[in-house]
């Protein structure tokens, strides 16, 4: 199964992607996590990406598309993947279509997670992520780790993302509305979009997502 997850920052894409990827037995590919891994390894790509990410802007398409393509071509992704945070504008969506066409593959669905702005702001403000693996995500109130500041999964140190400051979140939301939301119409014209509410407990959202992915368009 090949699925794209879309939704505003803080909607819970990463949280749901980890669970859905496990249920559907496909790899979770997050361009945000790939960039963060490059930043912590201090690669050239990481140095370039950091300045854009810290400001809440998109990393340029050329490097983002090359990185995503490289990851999608890894052996574990031949039978499917769950894309989280990619594509993020129409140019990236077109590049993905082109790549899929060349490989004679198709997308099955675009899962659109909806959450109101005041909720996503609260989710981002309380988010803590693991230094060792940024797919290990917690929330100080909604999903607290057993020991404050320590990852339940691997024991790594929990920290607040540099781009989770109030100002940067405002920019990220604006970037989402102006650059990312247009891909929803792009995919609607292909009949792929399944919109669900991202409100309520994490388990309920996962159930809703699995139902939406099962249903025929």
Catalytic sites, residue numbers = 13, 88, 127, 161, 172
Q: Is 123 in the site for ligand AP5 (CB under 6 A)?
A: yes
Nearer to ligand AP5 by Cβ, of 116 and 201: the residue is: 201
Q: Is 56 in the site for ligand AP5 (CB under 6 A)?
A: yes
Q: Is 6 in the site for ligand AP5 (CB under 6 A)?
A: no
Among 68, 130, 169, 205, binds Zn ion (CB under 5 A): 130
Q: What does the block give as tokens for 20? A: 């859905």
Nearer to ligand AP5 by Cβ, of 53 and 82: the residue is: 53
Q: Is 88 in the site for ligand AP5 (CB under 6 A)?
A: yes
Q: Annotated binding residues for ATP, as ranges?
A: 10-15, 127, 137-138, 200
Nearer to ligand AP5 by Cβ, of 44 and 216: the residue is: 44
Q: Are 34 and 49 within 8 A, CB to CB?
A: no
Q: Is 153 in the site for Zn ion (CB under 5 A)?
A: yes
- Count of residues that bind Zn ion according to CB under 5 A: 8
Q: Is 85 in the site for ligand AP5 (CB under 6 A)?
A: yes
Which stretches of the chain bind ligand AP5, using CB under 6 A?
7, 9-15, 31-32, 35, 52-53, 56-59, 64, 85-86, 88, 92, 123-124, 126-127, 137-139, 142-143, 163, 172, 201-202, 205
């Amino acid at each position: 199964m090949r699925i794209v997850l879309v939704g505003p920052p803080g909607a819970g894409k990463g949280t749901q992607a980890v669970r859905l990827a496990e249920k559907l037995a496909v790899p979770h590919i997050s361009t945000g996590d790939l960039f963060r891994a490059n930043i912590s390894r201090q690669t050239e790509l990481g140095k370039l990406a950091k300045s854009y990410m810290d400001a809440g802007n998109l990393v340029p398409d050329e490097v983002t598309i090359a990185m995503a393509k490289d990851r999608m071509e890894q052996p574990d992704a031949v039978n499917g993947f769950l894309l989280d945070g990619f594509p993020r504008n129409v140019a990236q969506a077109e590049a993905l279509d082109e790549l899929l066409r060349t490989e004679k593959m198709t997308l099955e669905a675009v899962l659109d997670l909806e959450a109101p702005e005041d909720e996503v702001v609260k989710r981002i403000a309380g988010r803590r992520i693991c230094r060792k693996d940024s797919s290990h995500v917690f929330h100080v109130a909604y999903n607290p780790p057993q020991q404050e500041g320590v990852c339940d999964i691997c024991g790594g140190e929990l920290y607040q993302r540099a781009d989770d400051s109030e100002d940067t979140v405002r920019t990220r939301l604006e970037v989402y509305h102006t650059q990312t939301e247009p891909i929803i119409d792009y995919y609607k014209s292909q009949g792929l979009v399944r919109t669900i509410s991202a409100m309520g407990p994490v388990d309920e959202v996962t159930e809703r997502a699995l139902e939406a992915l099962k249903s025929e368009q």
